[in-house]
Structure 1
Amino acid sequence: MSKTKGESAMKRVLMVAAENGALKGAKVGGMADVIRDLPGALYPLGVCSNVIMPSYGFLHRQEGAEPLGELVVDFYGQPHWLTLYRASHPSLPEVNLFLLDHPLFDQGGKIYTPGASDRPFAEDANKFALFCLGVAKAVLSGLMPRPDHLHLHDWHCGVLALLRAFAPEYAALQAIPCVLSIHNLAIQGARPLTQEHSSLQAWLPGLFASLERDALNQVIDPRYPQCFNPLRAAIVLSDRVHLVSPSYAQEVLCPSSPEKGFIGGEGLEADLQQKQQAGALHGILNGCEYPSNKRSGQLSKRQALLRGNTDKLLPLIDRAEQAIGGWLCQTPWVRSVDQQALLTLARLRRLSEFQDAPRLLLTSVGRLTDQKMAILSYRDQQGISTLEHLLKLLAEHAPNGLMAILGSGDQVIEAQLAQLAGRYQNLLFINGFDLPLSDTLYECGNLFIMPSSFEPCGISQMLAMRAGQPCLVHGVGGLKDTVSHGEDGFVFYGDSLAEQSSALLDILAQTLPLVGKETWHGICEKASQKRFSWGASAKRYCQHLYCLPASGALSD
């Protein structure tokens, strides 16, 4: 395809990532949303963001990708062959999606594997070490455009930073500036240095033998010196480091203090402090997509609920039943948690027939992990969890109120929520994830609850606010940067889990009486009008990460 003068002057960035929301089946977390949305925001600024990721055994097939050639790398001391594919971006024809295929990447259509408790990250670390070798080889092979910048995402790319810095055969990569984006510092992918099948020595025996002590000191885990820490390697060996919100970029400079309810640098604060002192650490908030065809002048589902038209809750009930029905079709058994949810939905449907369905809806959408649920799971001296206190408070204020939680993750947390859903009629727990159902919860809910212990950026609160649903959040990271207390939402703080639990319940008690009042409508309106545009963030990427003019990269 011929290029115009502007297109030929564009800067090329190669995004190296494990996920991409632009491809079906390639999304797990928030990183995928960034890799999907950021190229479209950078393109008008003169930056073409190609993406390379593993094929996971299926992406190259479903995307009808074109094979570009074979790459041979030395892995486990033996030659391994990878195939490089190029697929079309679904919405940006100028952007290339490169996929690397190898049998090791095929894990039954899954992006990540849980791994054994005594060998965390083992299978994934093997997979991404080989992926990094393939990327290094591909960039220098001539099979793909030579990028002006390498942009790594999270720990999965740590071996690439190591190869760039210390492997003689990939030394040419040092001429390409390298940026690292950290989406979640708590997940670091550490593996043993030696004496394990999934170790740095096993993957790269020749390079490992040649590494001097000074080089090893830059990539070992500061808390576990017998381990290789790929995220630390990426931090130390990249030219610039990016955190996905300004507040999170400050929090990670301090040591974590779990007993005080604070999660910070997780052992890597010293390295991040050095980057900050060198002017190479930047906090840039992720963006959110905003539809241009937003309807106006229509009674929202939320307003209809508050005005008593409880049949407007039926779309939520219908969508939840459809989601659970889809999950049931995939297994030969019925989970008790699904049965419980269906019973609750049936009861809500009956109540709606008598105009007695819930008129106040609290919502929560997200992964069920300690990060997201530690505050809600905290138990006071009487053994009562924060979530139980919340449900009791909701029942006192609104006897027909409902808390709806959509999510999956930690099995212990799932079991706790399932037990609570069986004991409290005002809790609907839907154990899984369904995108249309999450959209319905954002649209129907009155108040979105997001009390994360730490939050690098967060997207759920942005999506809820976009739909006009205010959020009650813990004042950390991206939550602190997106929600303004008393204006477009509510923020609580605390110096321990006990204080955070108490503060959440206090703010909720103050907030519930406001729902449906004139003040509340103003808060909802301000939430819906707040914007976190990718366009603004992309300009900061160009200026701070790629060192390009703030107005864009196109030359005259």
Structure 2
Amino acid sequence: MKRVLMLAAENAAVAGAKVGGMADVIGDLPAALHNEHVAVDVMMPSYGFLVSQLKARFIADVSLPFRGQTTLVEVFIAPHPNVAGSAIYLLDHPHFDAGGAIYTSNNDGRPFADDADKFALMCAAAAQVICQEIVDKPDVLHLHDWHCGVLALLRAYEPRFNALQAIHTVYSVHNLSIQGQRPLCQEHSSLQAWFPELFAKLSVHHDEAMAKIIDPIHAQCFNPMRAAINLCDHLHFVSPTYAKEVMLASECGSGHYGGEGLQDDIAQRAAELRVHGILNGCFYHDTPLELPKRTEQDFAKVLDYAEQCLLNNLANNQWVASQDQIALQRLNQLRRAAKAPSCLLTSVGRLTSQKVALLLQVMADGRYAIEHLLQSLATGQSQGLLILLGSGDEHIEQQLRQVAGRWPQLLFINGFDLPLSQLLYQHGDLFMMPSSFEPCGISQMLAMKAGQPCIVHGVGGLKDTIEHQVDGWVFNGDSLADKVDAMLATVTEAVAMTEQPQFQSMRQQALANRFTWQDVAKAYCEELYEF
């Protein structure tokens, strides 16, 4: 079998090692690629708990220069939990241990500082491990997101790691909006601090090299994502449309999120035929497709489980959060109504500007767009309810808490619970995903998998998975205001459609859609790995 080594910060195949959608790719692809006769090993930090959790076996120490001194990193191996013959390699060092957290926040005006240190060490250790042949030499080295950009730099310019240049190297961009920039020098978390000798050599003798790794906007910063985009053999984006969007500059006025400063580099790689857009996938059951029925009992089940989630939140915290209290009051009101809403809209996701900015745009009357949406649910022919499950940005949580207190048409569950999210996918009528940009998206696939049509903004992977008025609704606009107006009009149209006979055929079409990991694996082999 051909062998691929993936280096990544996250992995959904391991409990506690998932934060975002990248983890699902790392967790799900090895099994699909195994069916294509490709063995995938994954290397990642231990984060202070994965060695014991996986009962990993110690295999080696590697010593390497880092921060001007010799640093020792331990290497452990554990069998892949889902794929026979594949392994998970864990890099263990005190610097990787942040109390079980994958990422840490710097609130001292030094964005990414601690994480950049951690992942720079991860990359240097991984390079050392491969070059010392502590692991089998892979046919392909596959790097994921900004966390791995330093390895692309070391592969290209550090003589100790010249052997890596003979390994075909692929770089996947999961979200271009997070690039991990840090100062080039004169900072504790900087390229100079991590690799002083390499930095000195590049600064004096390699203007061309520096031009490939510095941030295009902040010339005194190192950009690990830009380094990987320019220095790897193939560049992969997680949907065909997103791969096109990022070759255009971002425009705040129109609400277009494009290359975020890296569009020229990406366009140049595309001209070299090295850019690929391959949609992420989803797992599907082999059982025959049956369209689930929506019943009053199903809605009661959703309310009961939502209440239990809220009670768990209260039990695990000393103080009662106001959003939990509002949600419990709303649940009581819904139960007293003794009738399920005629249309149940659902939304599941991280509360970030990317996901909810359109919903929280302020309209001419001073209200948020989501309030206009809720008003349409209250006054239209179909009395509707929006259940929104998510957590993230504290300011966004506050905004939604205030809206939830004003509008009985919104049940806001602040947090994330996997079983509750699955109930929302299964029992909702319409799924809302109005992301300002979406590299791929998994929530829309999960909703369709349960027979729930989606209302989406026509960007990235959302455009690639939803067909307007066939298996869902897609809205667009030439300006930010146009997008918001189109979103509200589309919601009104979709809610009205749920009362029509053709809505069932749309549900059936959504249920029948397939975006399989096996198709993704075949595309990886043909386009990225060249097997």
Deviates more, 1:393-402 or 1:504-513: 393-402
- Kept after mapping to 2: 8 A contact 1:191/1:199: yes
Contact in 1 for aligned 2:58/2:75 (Cα 8 Å) = yes
Q: How far has the Cα of 1:547 moved from its partner?
A: 0.8
How far apart are residue 328 of structure 1 and its match? 2.9
1:410 matched residue in structure 2 = 393
The 8 Å contact of residues 357 and 400 in structure 1, kept in 2 or not, is answered as: no
2:505 — aligned with what? 522
Q: Please report how far the alpha carbon of residue 398 of structure 1 lies from its aligned counterpart in structure 2 after TM superposition.
A: 5.2
Identical pairs, percent? 53
Q: Partner of 2:451: helix, strand, or coil?
A: coil
Q: Which residue in 2 is equivalent to 1:327?
A: 313
2:402 pairs, out of 403, 419, 431, with: 419
The TM-score normalised by the length of structure 1 is: 0.93
Please name the residue that 2:148 is paired with: 157
Q: Which runs of 5+ in 1 are unaligned?
A: 1-9, 305-309, 549-556
- SS of the residue aligned with 2:35? helix
Matched residue, 2:245: 251
> For residue 25 of structure 1, what is the aligned residue in structure 2?
16
Aligned to 1:237: 231
Whole-angstrom distance in 1 between the partners of 2:314 and 2:193: 42
**After superposition, what is the alpha-carbon deviation per residue over 1:403-437, rounded to whole angstroms, capped at 9, x for unaligned?**
01011111111100000000001101111111111
Q: Does 1:195 align with 2:189?
A: no
Q: Quick check: 1:183–1:244 contact (8 Å CA) kept in 2?
A: yes
Select 1:350's aligned residue among 321, 329, 336. 336
Q: What amino acid does structure 1 have at the position aligned with 2:472?
A: G
**Which residue of 472, 475, 480 corresponds with 2:463?**
480
Matched ranges for 1:167-178 at <5 A: 167-178=158-169
> Are 2:384 and 1:390 aligned?
no
The amino acid that maps onto 1:363 is T
**CA-atom RMSD, angstroms?**
1.3
Residue 425 of structure 1 aligns with an amino acid whose one-letter code is P
Q: Which moved more, 1:123-132 or 1:503-512?
A: 503-512
What is the CA deviation profile of residues 492-548 of structure 1, one whole-angstrom value per residue up to 9, with x for unaligned ones? 001111100000111112221111421000000000000001111111100110011
Equivalent of 2:452, from 469, 481, 488?
Answer: 469
Alignment of 1:107-506 (within 5 A): 107-116=98-107, 118-211=109-202, 212-293=206-287, 296=290, 300=293, 303-304=294-295, 310-352=296-338, 356-397=339-380, 400-506=383-489
Shift in alpha-carbon separation, 1:383–1:398, aligned structure 2, 3 A: same
**What is the aligned counterpart of 1:65 among 56, 78, 81?**
56
Deviation, 1:283, is 0.3
Amino acid at match of 1:286: N
Instruction: Tell me if the contact between 2:48 and 2:100 (Cα under 8 Å) persists in the aligned partners.
Output: yes
Unaligned regions of 5+ residues in structure 2, if any?
A: none
Distance 1:264 1:43, change over 3 A: same
Pair 1:257–1:117, CA change in 2 (3 A): farther
Task: Give 1:399 deviation, angstroms.
Answer: 6.4
SS at match of 2:81: coil
Q: Is the 8 A contact 1:360 1:398 kept in 2?
A: no
Cα distance change on mapping 1:103 and 1:330 into 2, 3 Å: farther
CA–CA separation in structure 1 for the residues paired with 2:438 and 2:424: 21
> Which whole-Å CA distance do the structure 1 matches of 2:288 and 2:28 have between them?
19
Number of residue pairs the alignment of both structures matches: 528
Structure 1 runs (4+) deviating above 4 angstroms are none
Shift of 1:296: 3.7
Deviation for aligned residue 1:339:
1.4
Give the equivalent residue in structure 2 for 1:513.
496
* TM-score (norm: length of structure 2): 0.97
Counterpart residue type for residue 141 of structure 2: L
| CA shift for structure 1 position 346 | 2.4
Q: 1:19 offset after TM fit, Å?
A: 0.5
The superposition leaves residues 279-329 of structure 1 with CA deviations (integer Å, 9 ceiling, x where unpaired) of 0000000011112246748x53xx22xxxxx23212111221222233333
Question: By how many angstroms is 1:476 displaced?
Answer: 0.5
- Greater Cα offset, 508-517 or 230-239: 508-517
Q: 1:117 Cα deviation (Å)?
A: 5.6
For residue 307 of structure 1, what is the aligned residue in structure 2?
A: none
Q: Take 2:441 and 2:37, find their aligned partners in 1: how far apart are those partners?
A: 27
Per-residue CA deviations over 1:325-347 (Å, capped at 9, x if unaligned) read 33333322221111111221222
